[in-house]
Structure 1
Amino acid sequence: MVRLNIKDAPFYKQSTTVLIGIIALIYAFSVLADILIPLAFAAFLAVLLNPLSNWLQRLKMPRVLAISLALLIAIILVAALFYFLSTQMMQFGESLPMLKQKFSEIFANLKVWVSQHLGVAESKQDQMVKQVINSSQTLVGKTLNSLLGILGIVVLLPVYIFFMMLYKTLILNFLFEVFAEENSKKVSEVLVETKGAIQSYIVGLLIETLIVGVMNSVALLLLGVKYGILIGSLGAILNLIPYLGGIIAIALPVLMATVTKDGFSTQIGVIAAYSIIQFIDNNILVPRIVSSKVQINALMSIIVVLLGNQLWGIPGMFLSIPFVAVLKIVFDRIDELKPWGKLLGDNIPTRHMGDRWRDRRKKKAVLPQDQVT
């Protein structure tokens, strides 16, 4: 009986096999999302906390105690952030009735303007608003499910991180033993680069978020936008969602300025300030702080962020970029997958392969016959 290797099969069979495998993998990721999402976050954060744990162990601290202390420091920092945001939100809640009344007045004036200038009756506008609200209930439900999923992640994360750091050697030995001995060098290189990419990406994101949060808050305070610190901090956190978060972040201060101030000068100032901040972020902070190791081109970044949202919601948007960065590292180390690694990267060739092939054909055509042979 002759067995046909998949590499020897026709292209349509190879592509069909790969497509079925990808569909099955995505389906498994979707079904097991509640289990895989906390594990994915835990894996990235365990890599981030590992240097701190190793440093504590070099100070003659027992391994379990070093891991626990590193995890405790991370929990304290996150708790301090949430405490800061909660105090700001409490102040926002005190003015919520006034903001609601002001927003109702603006909405009533907007309906009158639309009725007078666009000819749409106010009753028709109310009907359209109700339809939008009804159609958005599904989206609200999905958002609540995502928030509940995030709460589940927060509860499980410390446990997963602790055991991943505790059994780090066991996990690494498993990865080396799974692959053939001749691939040990490639496995080691992939692990080292993956660790460096994850640490660089997450630390870079934290530094970028802090800088953007300070710039947002200062700009909003100078413009006199109410709750500038809260809105600026939320904008910095939303900025963690590549490309899409920045659009949402700029809408929050514009809406607050519209509700709390007369005229449009403040809104224009907010848009101008955020445009400058986004320019600084995209051209200075991200290339020098975040993208030193994670070099994914903009097109692939947008695509994987949207795919991550479709697959895992909000957590998927945060995990998409570091996950693809790990895939790129693996692709670059495997000869058969190097084209995929180049597709994900941000190195743009000056010429495509078709031009080079045509140049070789032309050169071969003009050469004398004795040089061609």
Structure 2
Amino acid sequence: MKIKDQPFYIQSTAVLFGLVLVVYALATLSEILIPLAFAAFLAILLNPLANRMQKWGVPRVLSIVLALSVAFITVALVFYFLSTQIIQFGDSLPMLKQKLGEVTITVKQWINTTFGVPITKQDQMVKEALNNSQAMLGKTLGGLLGTLAIVFLLPVYIFFMLLYKTLILNFLYEVFAEENSTKVSEVLKETKGAIQSYIVGLLIEMIIVAAMNSLALVLLGVKYGILIGCIGAILNLIPYLGGIIAIALPVLMATVTKDGFSTQLGVIGAYIVIQFIDNNILVPRIVSSKVQINALMSIVVVLLGNQLWGLSGMFLSIPFVAVLKIIFDRIEELKPWGKLLGDNIPTRHMGEMLRNRLKRKAVLPQNQQP
């Protein structure tokens, strides 16, 4: 007997049990699945370049190697640029540390004068907070080390995914029934388009935001404005949460290196304008892919991704849900879930339409009476 013929409580239990197993498998196999997920998305991104080279007569293996080389050189140039800024930042680190200590003492004295909290008690509270955050810090560092490990595995996975692309596609077609081949083709085509549009859009958005951040910080006289602006643009890739950290960094730098609060207020004002431009102009026109995920679901899946796979999960959550929506929209039983993830807001809800329909049915016999 099929599951869909069973009572609702049995169906819901089976679905819940399946979700628990999937989440458990994703968490347990995270060290293997995270590099594969990143590699799959990047392979889709590099696939057009490799295909173009093959059309020019370049052998398949060589075209894949050249596509990977272009990606590697691009990333290396970005890291070289950031490293030069970081070296300059390291030279001033002792001076910044001294000024940060002076600012900390001033803040403690202000708290003591304003709220009557002794400095010794403040030190104790800070110490307890640091002790409580050690586990979170260890998790963050573990996620960072895991991300660094991904970097070394990515080229290998991407190479083989591009090399065995035809084999993988044939498997996806053959694993489903022949009558579903049209739907499979549509899902694969839209998935490729959505991922390419999303990743390319993010890269363009990151470059524009980095330029705006750096220009604003340099004009405001914030030290290491280019470095902090670029870091803020990278953090901005984390939806909704990275922007908060991106604002905190230049405000902290201005607090340490500047007197008064005018620069901090200028940084906050500039970043508010940049975020407005980013959210209302750049994202809708550049980052928007063929699949739109509404803001509520975006926040939820980013938080769930962080809980499941840490920093990597936050980056992967949006394109992963976009792929799920493409699949949901193609399966009749899952279309309501696709609508829930989507960004199309209905003007009327189903309950109101149903009540109006029942009212019309109730009034109709009376109007037809002689």
Q: TM-score, normalised by structure 2?
A: 0.98
Identity %: 75
Give the corresponding residue for 2:113.
Answer: 116
> Could you tell me which of 170, 195, 200 is aligned with 1:198?
195
Is 1:18 the counterpart of 2:11? The answer is: no
TM superposition shift of 1:369: 5.1
> Could you tell me which of 237, 244, 248 is aligned with 1:247?
244
Asked if structure 2 preserves the Cα contact closer than 8 Å seen for 1:52 and 1:70, the reply is: yes
- SS of the residue aligned with 2:139? helix
Give the corresponding residue for 1:139.
Answer: 136
Tell me how far apart the structure 2 counterparts of residues 45 and 272 of structure 1 sit (CA, whole Å): 36
- SS of the residue aligned with 2:333? helix
Q: What amino acid is aligned across from residue 313 of structure 2 in structure 1?
A: G
> Could you tell me which of 47, 69, 74 is aligned with 1:72?
69
Tell me how far apart the structure 1 counterparts of residues 77 and 345 of structure 2 sit (CA, whole Å): 42
Is 1:367 the counterpart of 2:364? The answer is: yes
TM superposition shift of 1:368: 3.0
Tell me how far apart the structure 2 counterparts of residues 109 and 60 of structure 1 sit (CA, whole Å): 68
Give the corresponding residue for 1:219.
Answer: 216
Is 1:299 the counterpart of 2:296? The answer is: yes
Change in 2 beyond 3 A, CA 1:343/1:371: farther
Q: What amino acid is aligned across from residue 354 of structure 2 in structure 1?
A: W
Residue range with higher mean Cα deviation, 290-299 or 301-310: 290-299
Asked if structure 2 preserves the Cα contact closer than 8 Å seen for 1:304 and 1:320, the reply is: yes
Tell me how far apart the structure 2 counterparts of residues 341 and 221 of structure 1 sit (CA, whole Å): 44
Question: In the TM superposition, what whole-angstrom CA distance separates every residue of 1:296-326 from its partner, at most 9, and x where no partner exists?
Answer: 0000000000000000000000000000000
Give the corresponding residue for 1:52.
Answer: 49
Give the corresponding residue for 2:206.
Answer: 209
Superposition pairs for residues 119-198 of structure 1, below 5 Å? 119-198=116-195
TM superposition shift of 1:137: 1.1
Extract unaligned runs of 5+ from structure 2. Answer: none
TM superposition shift of 1:75: 0.6
Question: In the TM superposition, what whole-angstrom CA distance separates every residue of 1:182-204 from its partner, at most 9, and x where no partner exists?
Answer: 00000000000000000000000
Asked if structure 2 preserves the Cα contact closer than 8 Å seen for 1:331 and 1:341, the reply is: yes
Asked if structure 2 preserves the Cα contact closer than 8 Å seen for 1:294 and 1:322, the reply is: no
Q: TM-score, normalised by structure 1?
A: 0.98
Is 1:236 the counterpart of 2:219? The answer is: no
- SS of the residue aligned with 1:41? helix
Asked if structure 2 preserves the Cα contact closer than 8 Å seen for 1:194 and 1:326, the reply is: yes
Tell me how far apart the structure 2 counterparts of residues 198 and 263 of structure 1 sit (CA, whole Å): 46
Asked if structure 2 preserves the Cα contact closer than 8 Å seen for 1:48 and 1:199, the reply is: yes
TM superposition shift of 1:145: 0.6
Residue range with higher mean Cα deviation, 219-228 or 137-146: 137-146
Question: In the TM superposition, what whole-angstrom CA distance separates every residue of 1:164-218 from its partner, at most 9, and x where no partner exists?
Answer: 0000000000000000000000000000000000000000000000000000000
Asked if structure 1 preserves the Cα contact closer than 8 Å seen for 2:291 and 2:325, the reply is: no
- SS of the residue aligned with 1:263? coil
Question: In the TM superposition, what whole-angstrom CA distance separates every residue of 1:19-76 from its partner, at most 9, and x where no partner exists?
Answer: 0110111011001000000000000000000000000000011000001000110011
Tell me how far apart the structure 2 counterparts of residues 82 and 62 of structure 1 sit (CA, whole Å): 30
Asked if structure 1 preserves the Cα contact closer than 8 Å seen for 2:195 and 2:319, the reply is: yes
Superposition pairs for residues 274-293 of structure 1, below 5 Å? 274-293=271-290
Give the corresponding residue for 1:257.
Answer: 254
Extract unaligned runs of 5+ from structure 1. Answer: none
Q: What amino acid is aligned across from residue 156 of structure 2 in structure 1?
A: V
Is 1:352 the counterpart of 2:349? The answer is: yes
Question: In the TM superposition, what whole-angstrom CA distance separates every residue of 1:247-274 from its partner, at most 9, and x where no partner exists?
Answer: 1100000000000000110001000000
TM superposition shift of 1:371: 5.5
Number of residue equivalences: 369
Asked if structure 2 preserves the Cα contact closer than 8 Å seen for 1:201 and 1:294, the reply is: no
Asked if structure 2 preserves the Cα contact closer than 8 Å seen for 1:221 and 1:229, the reply is: yes
TM superposition shift of 1:367: 1.2
Tell me how far apart the structure 1 counterparts of residues 171 and 79 of structure 2 sit (CA, whole Å): 37
TM superposition shift of 1:364: 1.2
TM superposition shift of 1:365: 1.4
- SS of the residue aligned with 1:368? helix
